[in-house]
Structure 1
Amino acid sequence: MGEKLEIISNAYLSLYFSGEYQPRAHNYTKVLFGEDYVYRAGTIGTVAEKTAYGYVKGYANDHNLTIRNAEIDRLVAGCTGVKRTTGQHPGGIIVVPDYMDIFDFSPIQYPADSIGAEWRTTHFDFHSIHDNLLKLDILGHDDPTVIRMLQDLSGIDPKTIPTDDPEVMKIFSGPESLGVTEEQINCKTGTLGIPEFGTKFVRQMLEETKPTTFSELVQISGLSHGTDVWLGNANELIYNGTCTLSEVIGCRDDIMVYLIYQGLDPSLAFKIMESVRKGKGVPEEWEEDMKNNNVPGWYIDSCKKIKYMFPKAHAAAYVLMAVRIAYFKVHFALLFYAAYFTVRADDFDVEAMAKGSASIRARIDEIAQKGLDAAPKEKSLLTVLEMTLEMCERGYSFQKVDLYRSHATDFIIDGDSLIPPFNAVPGLGTNAALSIVEARKNGEFLSKEDLQQRSKVSKTIIEYLDSQGCLGDLPDQNQLSLF
């Protein structure tokens, strides 16, 4: 870089694994570094303001005290933020150098004082020691789970999937390569269900920019994950014709590379990038250097607006995964939908899904009309219904839950249709779904009564399955009527 830079940065690495594999990844760090050199990052739970208020009011009531509001506020302020409990970071692993000891940095403890716990945690929360030790954020993520399921279903190694498939690239600007129109799926792009590109916010960005290359998708990923990078900034520059999508600032790396290209000293280019990505803008003396090297005014103004920027490597990793999954959506549609509904979706309306497009549209309209009054569960269902509508419009269908063929948790491909799993039934959890699958291993069910007794599911679930025609002609009870 031309000179030694003062880089003050916390040492941590974020690594994404399938949620199903995450515990194994955590344990593998013990193999890599040794059990005495890896610890879960500790967390400290503190008393919240409302909880503190409850403590103060409870104390006053228990002791028959009348306390003035000002004194209540003082006591609440004193209790707020006090340590209440300890826990552990969901993915954070602290790594100690092999020539040092954990006690050089922090005491250790067992979560919830359980000596038999698999992991020991740092007594201090990570923020107290993050300048001294490396942290690995080994996080659970749905994308690796989806891509692994698609690999198992298709036999295709995702690493062999091209990143420039013309039909795949088309879905980022329209749904035509899916064989449907915008009106059929109520969406102007074909990216429903594609990670990082399926939200309304990013779909709107796609509509405005019409990307056609992998690099432009990386640019959009950077723009969508930054703060004050797109809205009121890059989108206005593109709309006004000041510059193109490829020319706006999308990722933090773009700033340094562009400034070096313009002739700025590499060390100064790096410092400007760091200042901008942290939301600190551009100091006047650096702004003069930029102007002296013919950096356009719009570029400098854009830098000043930015509050946070995404790294290009992170954006590229997201886009690579998105393009691989999009490849299956275009060329192996039913495999894509089976994986999506199995891994990503939690709420279903199996009745509407089995009836087809018209019923799904009616359900979508019903939820949409509620607007802000729609319950969180309905909003989650709306996303799934949009996907089910698209699937049906592409010529595929859903069957009913099948007592003898449905999986506990996975959607199964049957011809040009999908068989929903048991846990897609409202109110039927994973454990109950597994119990039905386990019970049917012992032979066919003699009656609804037999099904309920062997699977231990509730009568309400039995009645729902029966109302949907999932139980066929099963009699109510085991006894045979003689008359």
Structure 2
Amino acid sequence: MPREKVKKKIIWEYHKVKGNVKVETLKERYDNDVSDFYELDDEGTLHPIDYIHFDKNNHNIIYIEKLKQEENGEQLVEILTFDFDNLVFQETLDFLNGVAFSSGQHAGGMLVIPEELDVHYYSGITYSKDGYDASNITLQSEYKPYEDAILKFDILSQDDSTRLYYLEKETGINIGDIDMYDTDVIQEFALGHTEMISEFNTNYFTNVTMQVSPQKFSDLVAISGLTHGKGLWDNNADMLLQNGKTISELITSRENFKRLLVQYGIEETLSNQIVEFIRKGKLHNEKNRVTNLIEWKKYEQVLMEHHVEEWFIESIKKVRYLFPLAHAAAYVINAYRLAWFKKYYPLAFVKVMINQSLSDKDVNKSIFLKDREQIDKLISKYENPKTFYTLPKKIRKSSAQMYFMRWLFDNHIELLRIDEDKSDAKRAIIEREKIRLPYMLKRFSITESE
């Protein structure tokens, strides 16, 4: 037996003897949900794993759980409890070697160093992977102190391009041919039908979108700016809309803010200075607070000289960060295209979304096997702060899939159960205007009949 496995087995048995291991049925502990005990690799193969998690009320306590199958078919969870206050520290380190809680790195932040300078002029470096892989160098220090000296690009990964690629293949529709001003599609956003629509499918985004009630594409871009900025929506734009202002009058992005300042007659260079001051949140930054307040008084005087309305100045004061317009537009273009497919090709949309979810290791796959009553029960618990943390972490991370399933039931789109003769091994397929679930979900079934 490999040395690492021997070590883990010895530690497990040691604590078992000490009485730190207890056993519960899978039904009692997780309502027969096994998804936290399996990992899906890049090839789509499931592997059994130990489930490691902290106690939600006490991060000194960690649980390591094993799934066991009894001869009579009953599934049990063997729970090993570690209390950091009573454990030998080195033993804990050995046992948890290789388990990361958080890297603290921004994977998409790319820094541009002036050609004539070395990166060490600014900061020490480290390698984000084992070994000396020159393609994965990160700063040892925080970026914030260098933001005025180093250009940073946020190169973020996106699932939408993959989803749209498969939707193109499924429907034969080129995304470049989609009408971007279809009022029926925009109305779907206004009604809150945003399940599985990136950037709009959280409760917060959906509520903001419904309150704004977008009528055109630019309204959606404004919503994206409002929700990605800081200090823009809560106790600011939400109240202004209630008081009769329109979305076009409000600060929603850097470029939109500059346009509004120029409309008031403020010279363009000075408008740029005000935008930069506000979008960096300097008015709320405790560092150099006196200097920042003096600078703000200068800009506030300019605003008053140009007869900028008091409500607009008060709105400016609340802003902590402004999102760039181009970034907001890029998000909305993809979101709109997904919503277009969802409205006009719902079966293709469902198929692609299920298959993308199945390839995501953080998604609880058993969601797709639940009926309407079970889904409603999960959503009720998810939306209730008192019961939110009673749900397994993987269920909480699968909220998008929960709401998506409710949308399927509301729109009478049927998911056909797993069939050995008809199901594909790994992918959902369209069958007789319905969606046939893949055979891989059999591993997440509660019983053979399901």
TM range (shorter): 0.5 to 0.7
Q: Quote the Cα distance in structure 2 between the aligned partners of 1:425 and 1:211.
A: 42
Could you tell me whether the CA contact under 8 Å between 1:94 and 1:136 is conserved in 2?
yes
Q: Quote the Cα distance in structure 2 between the aligned partners of 1:312 and 1:61.
A: 51
The answer to whether structure 1 residue 155 and structure 2 residue 137 are counterparts is no
Q: Quote the Cα distance in structure 1 between the aligned partners of 2:227 and 2:146.
A: 31
Deviations 1:141-182 (A, max 9, x none): 2111211111121122212211111221110222xxxxxxxx
Distance 1:251 1:350, change over 3 A: closer
Distance 1:280 1:408, change over 3 A: farther
Q: Quote the Cα distance in structure 1 between the aligned partners of 2:104 and 2:229.
A: 30
Compare CA radii of gyration and give the structure with the larger one: 1
Deviations 1:453-475 (A, max 9, x none): xxxxxxxx7xx56332xxxxxxx
- What's the CA shift for 1:126? 6.6
User: Quick one: which of 252, 258, 281 aligns to 2:254?
Assistant: 252
Q: Quick one: which amino acid aligns to residue 234 of structure 2? A: L
Distance 1:426 1:252, change over 3 A: farther
Could you tell me whether the CA contact under 8 Å between 2:254 and 2:322 is conserved in 1?
yes
Q: Quote the Cα distance in structure 1 between the aligned partners of 2:438 and 2:259.
A: 50
- What's the CA shift for 1:262? 1.4
User: Quick one: which of 200, 203, 228 aligns to 2:203?
Assistant: 200
Q: Quote the Cα distance in structure 1 between the aligned partners of 2:378 and 2:89.
A: 49
Counterpart residue number, 2:273: 271
TM-score, scaled relative to structure 2 = 0.65
Q: Quote the Cα distance in structure 1 between the aligned partners of 2:124 and 2:206.
A: 48
The answer to whether structure 1 residue 227 and structure 2 residue 230 are counterparts is yes
User: Quick one: which of 76, 95, 119 aligns to 2:135?
Assistant: 119
Distance 1:172 1:411, change over 3 A: same
Q: Quick one: which amino acid aligns to residue 255 of structure 1? A: F
Q: Quote the Cα distance in structure 2 between the aligned partners of 1:123 and 1:208.
A: 42
The answer to whether structure 1 residue 169 and structure 2 residue 189 are counterparts is no
Q: Quote the Cα distance in structure 1 between the aligned partners of 2:395 and 2:217.
A: 34
Distance 1:195 1:244, change over 3 A: same
Could you tell me whether the CA contact under 8 Å between 2:355 and 2:427 is conserved in 1?
yes
Could you tell me whether the CA contact under 8 Å between 1:348 and 1:384 is conserved in 2?
no
Counterpart residue number, 2:264: 262
Deviations 1:213-232 (A, max 9, x none): 01111111111111121110
Distance 1:99 1:421, change over 3 A: farther
Q: Which structure has more RCO (C-alpha within 8 Å, separation ≥ 6)? A: 2
Q: Quote the Cα distance in structure 1 between the aligned partners of 2:414 and 2:130.
A: 52
Q: Quote the Cα distance in structure 1 between the aligned partners of 2:414 and 2:151.
A: 50
Counterpart residue number, 2:396: 379
Between 262-271 and 405-414, the greater mean CA deviation after superposition: 405-414
- What's the CA shift for 1:206? 2.4
- What's the CA shift for 1:59? 10
Could you tell me whether the CA contact under 8 Å between 2:201 and 2:400 is conserved in 1?
no
The answer to whether structure 1 residue 294 and structure 2 residue 311 are counterparts is no
Q: Quote the Cα distance in structure 1 between the aligned partners of 2:413 and 2:88.
A: 63
Distance 1:231 1:338, change over 3 A: same
Could you tell me whether the CA contact under 8 Å between 1:86 and 1:112 is conserved in 2?
no
2:156 is paired with a residue of what secondary structure? strand
Q: Quote the Cα distance in structure 2 between the aligned partners of 1:331 and 1:377.
A: 31
Q: Would you say how many aligned residue pairs link Structure 1 and Structure 2?
A: 340
Q: Identity across aligned pairs (percent)?
A: 29
Deviations 1:112-146 (A, max 9, x none): 5525x473525744737666555444332211121
**RMSD of aligned Cα (Å):** 3.6
Distance 1:419 1:57, change over 3 A: closer
Q: Quote the Cα distance in structure 2 between the aligned partners of 1:61 and 1:214.
A: 58
Q: Quote the Cα distance in structure 2 between the aligned partners of 1:361 and 1:110.
A: 49
Could you tell me whether the CA contact under 8 Å between 1:348 and 1:425 is conserved in 2?
no
The answer to whether structure 1 residue 303 and structure 2 residue 303 are counterparts is no
2:107 is paired with a residue of what secondary structure? strand
The answer to whether structure 1 residue 392 and structure 2 residue 404 are counterparts is no
Counterpart residue number, 2:74: none
Deviations 1:376-430 (A, max 9, x none): 3333445423212322332321011233544454322222111223454565xxx
Counterpart residue number, 1:443: none
- What's the CA shift for 1:328? 0.1
- What's the CA shift for 1:308? 1.3
The answer to whether structure 1 residue 284 and structure 2 residue 294 are counterparts is no
Q: Quote the Cα distance in structure 2 between the aligned partners of 1:465 and 1:363.
A: 18
Q: Quote the Cα distance in structure 2 between the aligned partners of 1:351 and 1:133.
A: 46
Distance 1:398 1:296, change over 3 A: same
- What's the CA shift for 1:97? 5.8
Distance 1:249 1:130, change over 3 A: closer
User: Quick one: which of 341, 360, 365 aligns to 1:328?
Assistant: 341
Q: Quote the Cα distance in structure 1 between the aligned partners of 2:173 and 2:209.
A: 28
Q: Quote the Cα distance in structure 1 between the aligned partners of 2:311 and 2:103.
A: 49
1:140 is paired with a residue of what secondary structure? coil
Q: Quote the Cα distance in structure 1 between the aligned partners of 2:157 and 2:357.
A: 13
Distance 1:406 1:126, change over 3 A: farther
Q: Quick one: which amino acid aligns to residue 303 of structure 1? A: I
1:125-140 → structure 2 map (5 Å cutoff)? 125=141, 127=143, 134-140=151-157
User: Quick one: which of 141, 160, 163 aligns to 1:146?
Assistant: 163
Gaps of 5+ in 2: 1-41, 43-58, 61-82, 92-101, 284-292
The answer to whether structure 1 residue 190 and structure 2 residue 213 are counterparts is no
Q: Quote the Cα distance in structure 2 between the aligned partners of 1:351 and 1:333.
A: 17
Distance 1:290 1:87, change over 3 A: closer
Counterpart residue number, 1:360: 372
1:452-471 → structure 2 map (5 Å cutoff)? 464=446, 466-468=448-450
1:418 is paired with a residue of what secondary structure? strand
Q: Quote the Cα distance in structure 1 between the aligned partners of 2:177 and 2:416.
A: 33
Q: Quote the Cα distance in structure 1 between the aligned partners of 2:431 and 2:398.
A: 24
Could you tell me whether the CA contact under 8 Å between 1:350 and 1:424 is conserved in 2?
no
1:413 is paired with a residue of what secondary structure? strand
- What's the CA shift for 1:340? 1.8
Could you tell me whether the CA contact under 8 Å between 1:106 and 1:122 is conserved in 2?
no
Distance 1:406 1:102, change over 3 A: farther
Could you tell me whether the CA contact under 8 Å between 1:149 and 1:339 is conserved in 2?
yes
